[in-house]
Amino acid sequence: MRPADEMELAEAVRGAAAPFVIRGGGTRGIGRPAPGEVLETGGLSGVELYEPGALTLVARAGTPLAEVQAVLAGERQRLSFEPPDLRGLLGRTGEATLGGVAASNASGPRRVQSGAARDSLIGVRFVDGTGAVVKNGGRVMKNVTGYDLVKLMAGSHGTLGVLTEVAFRVQAIPEAEATLVGEGLGAEAALAALRRALGSPFDVSGAAFAGGRALVRVEGMAGSVAYRAGQLRALLGGWAIAEGAASAALWQAVRDVTALAGRPGALWRLSVVPTEALRVPRALEATGIAHEAAWDWGGGLLWLLVPEGGAEVVRAAVKGIGHATLVRGDLPGVPVFPPEPQEVAALTAGLRAKFDPKALFNRGLMG
């Protein structure tokens, strides 16, 4: 099904007895394949409002991300949270949509400076499981007053409703960028250096480590970038400097996790306390399980490629320091999303019952 507008979508949901699988561009939905009819959002497309002066963009949820980026680039603006293109990593084709970005809270390297997608998301409109149109701010559906709907929908993976419209705060593209490149470092030294850079006053907008190369980015006015890059170089110990397009290319690779793309094995995405960034790889090492790792967010985001097994080791080692999501790989019996503690599971179930009482949307996707 491919509704042409919000009204058609709402009617279809109102009359539905069987579940739907919501699809934007299908570029990187994760989770167990849910049962149901595919509900495509591509008909709900188009930028509705763009006010460069107010740094605000409102678009229908099925609008291709590329279209939004082109519109913004025309005014030298962008989405600050740098949504990645994970098609290579996850082996998908298709065109990512803005609704999919919001629904999966897709956030790239600049999260260390500008926050996640949810922090730029300033408004949502969606159809809930009863077929009601719910809007953030203004008129809201009864029984949902008091929830921060924007925060609820960001990262809900289409399990609470079908987004029809999203509003984002955007930012100006800065005049310059530069990246300090530290080569040949071990993980421990590299991650310590990233933390040092992030703890400095030089407003770092990227801090990643993959393939023996540590990267630290600064952006802004040309003079300020040159000054801050110089200061960071002194702090980190004579790292090389990449500027402009060369710097941007390095971050595109970090953003899209190209270091681990096109390779077989289970792929995990871990969100951890940065000071504990080595705990899970060390636990895998200790049990002799082969793996490769790439870090972003100063160690807070860890991508792990594990060719064989290892799920119990990953989940046990991440306990208490973060959570692990299986973004690719079919490991029988291993939940894709991190198992929720009992109290959280009860809250989740309550929200689902309220927003999607007939369990119509992406049923079973998040457990």
Ligand X SMILES: Cc1cc2nc3c(=O)[nH]c(=O)nc-3n(C[C@H](O)[C@H](O)[C@@H](O)COP(=O)(O)OP(=O)(O)OC[C@H]3O[C@@H](n4cnc5c(N)ncnc54)[C@H](O)[C@@H]3O)c2cc1C
Q: Are the C-beta atoms of 183 and 240 separated by less than 8 Å?
A: yes
**Position 325 contacts ligand X (CB under 6 A):** yes
The CA distance from 91 to 101, in Å, is 17
Among 103, 218, 272, 317, binds ligand X (CB under 6 A): 103
Q: How far apart are CA 130 and CA 119, in angstroms?
A: 28
Q: How far is the CB of 105 from ligand X (least distance, A)?
A: 7
Smallest gap from Cβ 234 to ligand X, in A, equals 31
DSSP strand pairing (20-23 vs 37-40)? parallel
| The only residue of 10, 61, 218, 272 in contact with ligand X, by rule CB under 6 A | 61
Among 9, 10, 101, 272, binds ligand X (CB under 6 A): 101
The mark string for 126-165 relative to ligand X (x by CB under 6 A, - otherwise) is: -------------------------------xx---xx--
* Phi, psi dihedral angles at 133 (to 5 degrees): -90, 120
State the Rg of the chain over Cα.
Answer: 21
| Cα–Cα dist 45/43, whole Å | 6
Q: Please, are residues 255 and 210 in contact by the beta-carbon 8 Å criterion?
A: no
Site for ligand X in 253-312 (CB under 6 A): 269
Within positions 69 to 98, which residues make up the interface with ligand X, using CB under 6 A? 83-84, 86, 94, 96-97
Stretch that binds ligand X, among 25-33, 51-59, 170-178, 232-240 (CB under 6 A): 25-33
CB of 235 to ligand X, least distance (A): 27
**Stretch in the footprint of ligand X (CB under 6 A) among 23-31, 182-190, 198-206, 234-242:** 23-31
Question: Interface with ligand X includes 68 (CB under 6 A)?
Answer: no
> Contact 315/324 with Cβ under 8 angstroms?
yes
29 or 298: whose CB is closer to ligand X? Answer: 29
365: DSSP letter: T
Residue with tokens 């289409």: 158
The residues, ordered by sequence, that sit 6+ positions from 220 with a Cβ below 8 Å of its Cβ are 174, 175, 176, 203, 228
Interface residue list for ligand X (CB under 6 A): 22-30, 41, 61, 65, 83-84, 86, 94, 96-97, 99-101, 103-104, 106-108, 157-158, 162-163, 269, 325, 327, 362
